Chains A and B, each alone.
Chain A
Amino acid sequence: MAEEMRLMKGNEAIAEAAIRAGCTAYFGYPITPQNELTAYMAKHMLDHQRTFIQAESEVSAINMVYGAAAAGARTMTSSSSPGVSLKQEGISYCCGADLPCVIVNVARSGPGLGGISPGQADYFQSTRGGGHGDYFHLVLAPKSVQEAADLTHEAFDLADQWRMPVMILADGLIGQMMEGVVLPENRELSSLPKKAWAAGGQADTHRPINHVSSINLVPAELEASVIERFKRYDRIKAQEVRYEEVNVDKAELILVGYGTSARVSLGALEMAKKLGIEVGLFRPISLWPFPEKRVAELAAMGKKFLAVEMSMGQMVEDVKLAANGKADVHFYGRCGGMIPTEEEVLAEIRRLLKK
């Protein structure tokens, strides 16, 4: 039976999508602007006889995730920027031990305690392996409540498939706003992938014992395992790149933005069109892996780029790396919880194109 469209907050849609994806263990700690997510989980995970714990800190929450993932569960934690900083140690351990899990960052503005208004200044932390060591993990950035639900649902499959954490990088606006959403399908727990590597359940199969660990004190062995993991990263780069394009063929200038700033950019694009100015929009959905090949192709076609962000310029560095000197890459950003307006972006477009 087809699902009806419902009006939901982004935070609640993410929570419900996680439950429907078969998340059986959620661990969180209160922080604005993601509190509705934790509250929704508190009610509905318990209603489903699944595990919900309000942890004593984000540090504990991510390490509960580590344990639950090690024991084979679909598991998730959510937070906002300062809390996600605290999770970085645990995320590094999850990556080192190849543990699947989902981490939601409903980002706010920083640094430090910063503010509770939406921000996109956690891009570097999210896409560069924010903890210690050589690692990456998938990062998906939704632009709407619908996409937040869909990507969260899919994140659990991707985490299991690639055996790594998947981060949903939203922001306070996506988390707080209400939109219509058709919720993703409910997964039967019995249909979820079996995890032969997980701890526990040995009595069922009498398999050899399993160890979930990230330690290896033999440099040559550790190097070999990191290199092996990077080969997996190459396969992910080949298979999991996601992006959306609007009007890039006709445009001389392409706006590049993700999440909320992509919505603003789309508005600016439409305003420009009314003035007879053709601009395009390139919206990375996977921030890691970044759609670098496509940006390089567009650069080779002679396009110019204008990266629009709610930060002092982070994603723009990936655009520059991908363009590799073959295109002009400009930047327009607001920070501190300020959201660029369509008018501001339009003015920047007109300034750059001298139109």
Chain B
Amino acid sequence: MELLYGHPKSLKPIQTKYCPGCGHGVIHRLIAEVIDELGVQERSIITNPVGCSIWADLYFDFDSVQPAHGRTPAAATGIKRVKPDHLVICYQGDGDLAAIGTAEIIHAANRGEKFTTIFVNNAIYGMTGGQMAPTTLIGQKATTAPYGRDALEAGMGYPIQVCELLATLGGTKYLARGSVNNAANVRKTKQYIKKAFEAQLRGEGFTMVEILSPCPTNWGMQPCEGQEWLEANMIPFYKLGEVKNTLAAGAGAEGGSK
């Protein structure tokens, strides 16, 4: 009998510590499904970053390395250079990638490091309890932006569109932005992840999938409200789709630089 749907082998069959309505669990599952489909479970290594997803090593059923906050792309560089035939996944939150680790991500991307970054943009610092992230939207409240993010008057700056920022760098080959707010977007996000992983295994260059992901706990919302807020507020600013695709010809349906 052919198995049409089941729990991915690369993900342990246990309940996660993530809050109800959190996007991390869905994203973990997508990664695990793609790894199973590519048959690379025993040659995958993930970095579990400082942030809520530091627990990734409890859930993924393959090797992991836990680096310092923001240094994730540097550590992933070291891992991938030493194990070039492995699938190396640099999992990062928005505080990790776009604040404390800005230098590391820009230079890893620019060197064209051949790992895949999974960039979980939840517009907030989840683990430390809801502080403003570089991706927090204008007007969005956070414990460190109690009146809402105010770019100019309060000098809090603007939300950073990371895919667009990295697109100018020569080393980046594939940059896509997905979301896990509904089934259709979840499926599309999985395609982006698969394309990025396949490109990595071909050794093409730096690949990243940014994923808009709800953090209902620190947004102060119910899980369903979180999905609605993401759709109404994040997607208009963080446009979904392939922001850059210069992969080798024939590599995928949505090809071509955009």
Contact = CB atoms under 8 A, between A and B. Distances in A.
A219 B115 CA distance: 34
A53 interface: yes
Contacts of B63: 199-200, 202, 209-211
Interface residues of A, number: 40
B76 A212 contact: no
Interface in B43-70: 43, 45, 47-48, 54, 57, 61-68
Nearest to B43: A203
B230 interface: no
Contact of B74 (A51, A64, A212): A64
**Chain B contact patch, size range:** 20 to 34
Given A56-B103, A60-B71, A51 B43 contact: no
A71 B65 CA distance: 9
Interface string B93-137: 000000000011011000100000000000000000000000000
Contacts of B43: 200-203
Interface in A170-224: 199-203, 206, 209-215
Nearest to B110: A56
Most buried by B among A24, A69, A209, A215: A209
Contacts of B71: 59-60, 63, 66, 89-90
B81 A68 contact: yes
Interface in B64-91: 64-68, 71, 74-83, 86
Given A65-B78, A71-B78, A71-B82, A200 B68 contact: no
Given A56-B103, A60-B107, A200-B83, A67 B68 contact: no
A60 B104 contact: yes
B42 A206 contact: yes
Contacts of A67: 47, 65, 67, 74-80, 82
A93 interface: yes
B111 A53 contact: yes
Interface string A46-81: 000001010111011101111111111101000000
Contacts of B65: 66-67, 70-71, 199, 211-213
B81 A51 contact: yes
Contact of A73 (B45, B82, B107): B82
Given A60-B104, A89-B68, A202 B62 contact: yes
Contacts of B78: 25, 27, 63-71, 73, 75
Nearest to A60: B74
Nearest to A66: B75
A97 interface: yes
B106 to A, nearest CB: 8
Contacts of B107: 55-56, 60
A93 B45 contact: no
Most buried by A among B64, B74, B83, B86: B74
B68 A72 contact: no
A6 to B, nearest CB: 30
5 contacts: A59-B71, A60-B107, A71-B82, A200-B45, A212-B64
Interface of A: 24-25, 27, 51, 53, 55-57, 59-61, 63-73, 75, 89-90, 93, 97, 199-203, 206, 209-215
Given A66-B68, A66-B75, A210-B63, 17 more contacts: A25-B82, A51-B81, A53-B81, A56-B104, A59-B103, A63-B78, A68-B82, A70-B65, A70-B78, A71-B83, A73-B82, A97-B66, A199-B45, A199-B64, A211-B64, A212-B64, A212-B66
